Amino acid sequence: MNFLEFEQPIAELEAKIEELRYVGDDSDIDINEEISRLQKHSQDLTASIFSDLSAWQVSQLARHPQRPYTLDYLQRLFTDFNELHGERNIADDAAIVSGIARFDAKPVAVIGHQKGRDIKERIHRNYGMPKPEGYRKALRIMQLAERFKLPVLTFIDTPGAYPGIGAEERGQSVAIAENLLAMSELRTPIIATVIGEGGSGGALAIGVADKLNMLEYSTYSVISPEGCASILWKSADKAEEAALAMGITTQRLDGLGLLDAIIAEPLGGAHRDYDIIAQSVKETIRQQLDELQQLDLDELLDLRQKKFRSYGFTQ
């Protein structure tokens, strides 16, 4: 288990428990009682620390190196996943995975950002930062989904669209903009779930949906806390303040009328139990899909337009 800085007291307790277990193996003193007492203590401590997390701590959890990624959910939520590659032009962008699969036996299309676990895979996945070809691949799969009447389920987890020379040359802006427009009128239900980092336009480019869900410790923001801090505070060190000011957590976003569901995470965060969090995500999507599939398509699109139309606060 990898512990974050603010989890250090929990980490120390867990280390102590491990130590006792080790001692317990080769001594005849019964320390089981002590172990279970410490375990209870560790749980209470975790509950107490996690009941009052700062925006910055949540954003660390959202980027936790062991956090479940799109492929971890695909494995647990779907059967018969067939990955489909490429945008039919220049490259297959590994920062986005997409394909067709079955969800409760029903045919669906799936699109998600994908990060890597180790250095090699992180580079291969470009740290989950798509290039235009990634967004164009996503668009191709969405259009395929529309043609074959497959609902689209997306999983959002990206620091943002890739800021690179080639990405700009190949029209990063246009690629994102075209997805926003296409998703607003795609004639099939779309459900988007933020599983980790919802980084700006790079997240929204697969996030225009009939239902928008966020995991409890995921984040969604217009710019990364570091980016915001370096522009408004003129120093990336103020990321903690920027995270707080932008209100990037589910707790702060809840009152803004953007979210359809906040999915509770297991104690200590999604990375503590992949199966439990996958099950919760599955339940939420199942309910929403049932609801959306009862609407006729004109009604669905009308509601989607109204939803986006309502975004904003003016006087």
Partner 1 sequence: MNWFKKLLPSRIKINSATRRTVPEGIWTKCVNCNAVLYRAELVRNIEVCPKCSHHMRIGARTRLEYFLDAEPRQEIGAELKPVDALKFRDSKKYKDRINQAQKKTGENDAMVVLMGRLISMPLVACAFEFDFMGGSMGSVVGERFVRAVDTSIEYAIPLVCFSASGGARMQEAIIALMQMAKTSAALGQLKRKGIPYISVLTDPTMGGVSASLATLGDINIAEPKALIGFAGPRVIEQTVRETLPEGFQRSEFLLEHGNIDMIVDRREMRDRIASLLSILTHQPAPV
Q: Which stretches of the chain bind partner 1, using CB under 8 A?
A: 161-165, 167-174, 176-178, 180-181, 184-185, 200-201, 204-205, 207-208, 220-223, 227-228, 231-233, 241-242, 245-248, 252-253, 256, 258, 304-305, 308-309, 311-315
| Closest alpha carbon to 216 in 161, 154, 259, 153 | 259
CA dihedral 39, 42, 48, 54 (to 10 degrees): -140
| Nearer of residues 23 and 174 to partner 1, judged by Cβ | 174
Maximum CA pair distance of the chain? 73
d(CA 255, CA 315): 18
Cα 31-36-37 angle, rounded to 5 deg = 95
| Closest separation in Å from C-beta 90 to partner 1 | 13
User: Minimum Å distance from CB 229 to partner 1?
Assistant: 9
| Residue with smaller CB distance to partner 1, 7 or 93 | 93
In single-letter form, the type of residue at position 49 comes to: I
Q: Is 226 exposed, middle or buried (0-12, 13-18, 19+ CB in 10 A)?
A: middle
The least distance separating partner 1 from the CB of residue 193, rounded to whole angstroms, comes to: 16
Sign of CA dihedral 292, 247, 129, 116: negative
The pair of structure tokens assigned to 97 is 């995975």
Closest of 238, 96, 86 to residue 156, by C-alpha: 96
- When the beta carbons of 61 and 161 are compared against partner 1, the nearer one is 161
Q: Shortest gap between Cβ of 179 and partner 1 (angstroms)?
A: 9
Nearest distance from C-beta of residue 313 to partner 1, angstroms: 4
CB of 5 to partner 1, least distance (A): 24
Buried b (16+ CB within 10 A) or exposed e, 116-126: beeeeeeeebb
